[in-house]
Amino acid sequence: MAFTLSGADVCQPTLPTPIPDPYWVAFSSSAAKLIGLEVDDSGLPQDPTWLGLLAGNQLVANNQHFLNPIATAYSGHQFGVWAGQLGDGRAILLGDIAGQELQLKGAGKTHYSRMGDGRAVLRSSIREYLCSEAMHSLGIPTTRALSVVGSDLPIRRETSETAAVCARLAPSFIRIGHFEHFSTQQNIARLKELADLVMKNHYPECMNAESPYLDLVKKISARNASLVAQWQAVGFCHGVLNSDNISALGLTMDYGPFGFMDYFQIDHICNHSDQAGRYSYHRQPQIMHWNIACLASAMLPLLELQEESETAMNLLRSALDEFSDVYTQQWQALFRQKLGFKTTQEDDMKLLERLLQLLHDSRVDFTSFFRGLGNILTHESVEKILLRNHFVNRELIDKWFTDYVLRLKSENSIDEERKLFINKVNPKFILRNHLAQRAIELAQRKDFSEVQKLNAILSKPFDEQLEYAEYADPPTPDLRAIEVSCSS
């Protein structure tokens, strides 16, 4: 639903800055269905005026008019430090279409750009496009990417690159930073207006709760706890879990220096700028919980409208405790499924913890390993399990496989049925950094075929797609050093 708050303290009218000679880089016919946008046989909009709209060069496409675009104000914590007012520095919200907000990322300066140019480059735009759509196909809540429009306009980052505009869709782009913004300003009226808007449009069940604002915190907390459990289950690392990058709807958003783990490392860092490892793989649940605590702190003034201050704080502390319960339950359920278990047994988590340690010690490819579990035949000896060849300590992994097979046998499952089950929860294809980099390098030479091909493969991550088997392979040693930073 459209962002309906108004006023200079909330948002600023912002016209996109046109780019010269725009051209299509990528377009998601899947995301287009969300807004009823019809495409032709080439997979592009039937109406050619959409190119100008999604480039930021015009505000009308066919019968769609977006005459009041805005950039919104928000604040937040960045790398654990209060950063004050931030806002949409390079995102412009065009408006609402079919219940989805349409936002242009990289369409020029806004009131909140500070020292930035408001632009995005082709490299980061392609990465966001591919990952947004890949996450959707994995069944993980996310903002969507409708398109990438390119231009030869030069943009300076570490080197000279070319400009691009990524069009994004979401029911709402409201983030925890919006709540922090008004709370820090002690603007309780605006804070209440924002919370009421979010409840009305996205959490209507909260409006009838005994304590609506407390219930809203719990609901947002639960969605994000479930979200981060889903990230862990596919080895996804966000890279910059600042409070202003956390969705109030529990969506994965603001794709920057993200990465899917290849070779498993419990403390894997995907963001080259994160030298302290604040946002490493194993810390993501803790950091998400910390961000929910930021939300709870921001919402305290609204609870104090109904409760004594101490009572309100105690209620929020209790609500925060529920995050861990939701996360743990979801994480355990997901990893049981990844192991092919349909029942719950007491020692399952001990078995999983042993496995994760062995994966870490031998740097085994996370995605390929879990996918390969479906090939295990319970009547064969452990020595015939090919996955064991990826581990350094054969004695320990053989002991683990022995215990694992016994656990599988306890369910009396049929190998063929279990393989189908495992392959439905363990993807074969993920957006590996080296695959994205190859698509980007070709795109920088005006060859966008690999972006299209990769998007098509990732749209069916659980299918075998034997003709694209090489896209499931982990990177060779020479491709493991690809680094991604906050620069985009």
Structural Rg of the chain based on CA atoms: 23
Tell me whether residue 31 is in a domain.
yes
Tell me which of 365, 382, 412 is where a domain ends: 412
Encoding tokens for residue 180? Answer: 């922090």
What is the reported pTM?
Answer: 0.96
Tell me whether residue 216 is in a domain.
no
Phi-psi region of 67 (alpha: psi -120 to 50; beta: other; left: phi over 0): alpha
Catalytic residue among 88, 215, 244, 262: 244
Tell me whether residue 391 is in a domain.
yes
Tell me whether residue 15 is in a domain.
yes
CA dihedral 110, 1, 191, 114 (to 10 degrees): -10
Residue 12: predicted pLDDT: 95
Residue 272: predicted pLDDT: 86
Catalytic annotation on 244? yes
Instruction: Report CA-CA distances (Å) from 484 to 255, 284, 472, 481.
Output: 11, 18, 21, 10
Tell me which of 170, 200, 218 is where a domain ends: 170
Residue 488: predicted pLDDT: 53
Tell me whether residue 200 is in a domain.
no
Among candidate residues 475, 26, 430, the one with its CA nearest the CA of residue 235: 430
Tell me which of 394, 412, 430 is where a domain ends: 412
Tell me whether residue 104 is in a domain.
yes
Tell me whether residue 487 is in a domain.
no
Encoding tokens for residue 6? Answer: 């108004």
Domain of 389, in residue numbers: 341-412
Which residue blocks in 339-373 are alpha helix, DSSP H? 348-362, 366-372
Q: What is the pLDDT along the chain (488 residues), one digit of tens a residue?
A: 567 787 888 999 999 999 999 999 999 999 999 999 999 999 999 999 999 999 999 999 988 899 999 999 999 999 999 999 999 999 999 999 999 999 999 999 999 999 889 999 999 999 999 999 999 999 999 999 999 999 999 999 889 999 999 999 999 999 999 999 999 999 999 999 999 999 999 999 999 999 999 999 999 999 999 999 999 999 999 999 999 999 999 999 999 999 999 999 999 999 988 888 899 999 999 999 999 999 999 999 999 998 899 999 999 999 999 999 999 999 999 999 999 999 999 999 999 999 999 999 999 999 999 999 999 999 999 999 999 999 999 999 999 999 999 999 999 889 999 999 999 999 999 999 999 999 999 999 999 999 999 999 999 999 999 999 999 999 988 776 666 765 55
Domain total of the chain = 2
Distance between CA atoms of residues 257 and 235, nearest Å: 14
Tell me whether residue 71 is in a domain.
yes
Residue 487: predicted pLDDT: 54
Residue 5: predicted pLDDT: 80
